[in-house]
């Protein structure tokens, strides 16, 4: 079993349209734990750290503007194969091509307004998480949560 952490960002469009709870529930229903969460307006420096790979592309200036246009919700997900599951639950980057029932198909309106961002690999996940969260912001791991839950039931 490979327990991983992945970053999920619920983007300003999904926050404005009040989809935070519905989005988080999809991960929890699929066995992925939320181990850190905060609402913030992402700074330009943080946006550049996360999306810097896209610098120079025609859509990059709009991406910078959009991601800083209002509050987002940053979430650290943890669980078995969390990165792969995160990508599957989110769906294709283009909502028009995303499978029915995925977050982007249900809540995205365009490729540049697709409701969520998610880590695409372990190295990226570590860097993205570090750009938005400090170690003191983690309250528990998924294993701790299960252990605490089991202790509370007995």
Looking at residue 124, its pLDDT comes to 95
> β-pairing, 33-40 with 116-118?
unpaired
Looking at residue 135, its pLDDT comes to 86
Helix 82-90 × helix 20-29 angle, to 10°: 130
Tokens linked to 91: 């769906």
Rounded alpha-carbon distances, angstroms, from residue 140 to 37, 55, 83, 99, 101: 11, 35, 18, 32, 29
Looking at residue 136, its pLDDT comes to 85
Residues of the chain with pLDDT under 70: 139-154
d(CA 78, CA 111): 26
Looking at residue 142, its pLDDT comes to 56
**Angle, CA 25 vertex, CA 20 and CA 29 arms, to 5°:** 165
List residues with catalytic annotation.
Answer: 117
Domain ranges of the chain: 3-153
- Topology of domain 3-153 in CATH is Alpha-Beta Plaits (3.30.70)
Beta-bridged to residue 100, according to DSSP, are none
């Amino acid at each position: 079993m490979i327990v991983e952490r992945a970053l999920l960002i619920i983007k300003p469009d999904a926050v404005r349209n009040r989809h935070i709870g519905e989005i988080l529930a999809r991960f929890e229903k699929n066995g992925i734990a939320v181990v850190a969460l905060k609402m913030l307006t992402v700074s330009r420096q943080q946006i550049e750290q996360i999306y810097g790979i896209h610098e120079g592309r025609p859509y990059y200036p709009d991406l910078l503007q959009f991601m800083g246009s209002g509050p987002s919700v940053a979430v650290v997900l943890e669980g078995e194969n969390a990165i792969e599951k995160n990508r599957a639950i989110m769906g294709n980057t283009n909502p028009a091509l995303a499978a029915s029932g995925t977050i982007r198909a249900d809540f995205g309106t365009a490729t540049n307004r697709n409701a969520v961002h998610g880590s695409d690999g372990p190295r990226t996940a570590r860097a993205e998480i570090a750009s938005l969260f400090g170690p003191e912001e983690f309250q528990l791991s998924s294993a701790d949560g299960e252990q605490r839950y089991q202790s509370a039931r007995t």
